[in-house]
Structure 1
């Protein structure tokens, strides 16, 4: 098995929304804001090469949304999915599986693209199975008012229409080759890949832990549908991560790719942060 970090681009989100009830005077120490109160975010995906399977975990925002829509998120930087795949000698047509942690647009937008004449949509990964889970899929296709702006039908419906949709069950390792942790605080049945790699455990954090700045328990996003549940899910997970020395792969942290955590008198806190290649070769 080989794992590669795949940078698909950067964007910005409102810092207050990202940290909920935590005051700006505190959260800006780890996540500095610009003059519009926006903080920099990554859309860092993961590519898993395992035998004849090439699995992409999440896809970034894609490029089919309108300029008006994308303008709300201040996309910046030179990263793209295609250039990041090419860096490791791959093309999107090589992808056999796309695993979507959840169906918010910044995680799944790249799975569907315009067709050649921009009259409709087509798969961005024509040879891939696309993995979600039934509970989350049903949650997304009939969205609640709070999440409706994040569940975009043009990102979601074509997956099923194209015949690519597959559902993860509790025996996820038999289906995709790695374990999956289910989390319900951010959205219904978000899935976090848990991967044994080079003698260590990597957990792809998706939106349970967007950045190292979110490690303290009360630092919960305003976007979460069940913030008290997120707090409890973080407590249980971070204690285990500290006990077992998990490496946490950060999808949204613009500055840190990986981190570890440790127990302190104040609770679980950051131990160290790393580039992926600092730890894994």
Structure 2
């Protein structure tokens, strides 16, 4: 098995929204804002090569939305999903599974693309199974007013209509049952209902794809919770348990949204769990 970080592109969001009740004078130290109060964010995914399976965890914003839509998110940098796959020697048609931590547009937008004549939509990975879970699918396809703008029907319904949509069993088992790949799933509900965080054992280390439970290293302290979360107090409970376990067991946190840090370790301090060290993926795993 080999795993790779995959950069799909960078964007920006309002720093106040990203840090909720935490004052800008504090969060600006770790996540500096620009003149528009926007902070740098990434859309970093994970590619898992395991025998004849090629599994992509999340896939970024995609490119099918309108220019007006993307103008709200201040896209920057030169990364793209296709370019990153090509650098690794792959293409979209090689992907066998797309595992979606949750169905907000910045995590699953790359799943669906325009068809050739732009009259409708089609899966961007024609040979892949798209994996979510039944509770989150119901949550996303019947959205509450708070999250409605993040669950876009053009990202969701074509997966179902294509026959490529599959559901993970929510019994704590690995979603892959016909492989030796150690792919565990940790469910969290504070950000959105039944978000799934993959746990991977790789080269003797546990790597956890933390998605929107901990968007950046600046979000590690417990009160640093996004304004986007539907249940912020629950997020704090989930973070506390997760971070304690991660620190005690020397897990590596893999960041999807931290544009400048790929991985970090944690340590216990008098103030609670804090970041210990940050690393690039190559520094830990010598992938290049």
Tell me, yes or no, if the aligned pair for 2:168 and 2:175 is still in contact at 8 Å: no
Aligned partner (choices 213, 217, 225) of residue 220 of structure 1: 225
Question: Whole-Å Cα distance in 2 between the matches of residues 215 and 248 of structure 1?
Answer: 10
Q: Which runs of 4+ in 1 moved over 2 A?
A: 170-177
The 5 Å alignment of 1:17-56 reads 17-56=17-56
Deviation at 1:243, TM superposition (A): 0.1
The answer for the alignment partner of 1:249 in structure 2 is 254
Q: 2:275 matched to 1:273?
A: no
Q: Deviation digits for residues 60-116 of structure 1, max 9, x if unmatched?
A: 000000111111000111000001001110001000000000000000000000000
Number of aligned pairs?
281
Q: Which residue in the other structure is 2:112 paired with?
A: 112
Q: Offset at 1:172?
A: 2.6
1:172 lines up with 2:174 in the alignment: yes
Residue 263 (structure 2) aligns with: 258
TM-score where L is the length of structure 2:
0.96
Q: Contact 2:20 / 2:225 at 8 angstroms: preserved in 1? A: yes
CA distance in 1, matches of 2:133, 2:39: 31
**RMSD over aligned Cα, in angstroms?**
0.8
- Measured against aligned partners, the alpha-carbon deviations of 1:21-66 in whole angstroms (never above 9, x if no partner) come to 0000000000000000000000000000011100000000000001
Q: Report the alpha carbon displacement of residue 275 of structure 1 after superposing the two structures with TM.
A: 0.3
Structure 1 residue 122 and structure 2 residue 122: aligned? Answer: yes
Rounded Cα–Cα distance in structure 2 between residues aligned with 1:259 and 1:87: 24
Deviation at 1:174, TM superposition (A): 3.5
Residue aligning to 1:229: 234
CA 1:173–1:161: 2 relative to 1, 3 Å: closer
Partner of 1:163: 163
- Give the superposition deviation at 1:173: 4.0
1:16 is aligned to: 16
CA–CA separation in structure 2 for the residues paired with 1:94 and 1:203: 24
| Residue aligning to 1:60 | 60
Residue 240 of structure 1 pairs with residue 229 of structure 2: no
Q: Indicate whether 1:193 and 2:198 are aligned.
A: yes
- 1:172 and 1:187 mapped to 2: Cα distance? 21
Q: Give the equivalent residue in structure 2 for 1:204.
A: 209
Q: 1:20: how far off?
A: 0.2
In 1, Cα distance between equivalents of 2:210 and 2:114: 29
Question: Scaled by the length of structure 1, what TM-score is found?
Answer: 0.99
Runs (5+) with no aligned partner, structure 1:
none
For each residue in 1:240-276, what CA deviation from the matched residue of structure 2 results, as whole angstroms up to 9, or x when unmatched? 0000000000000011000011000110000000000
What's the secondary structure of 1:172's corresponding residue? coil
For residues 157-200 of structure 1, what are the alpha-carbon distances to aligned partners after superposition, in whole Å with 9 as ceiling and x for unaligned?
00000001000012234448411000000000000000000000
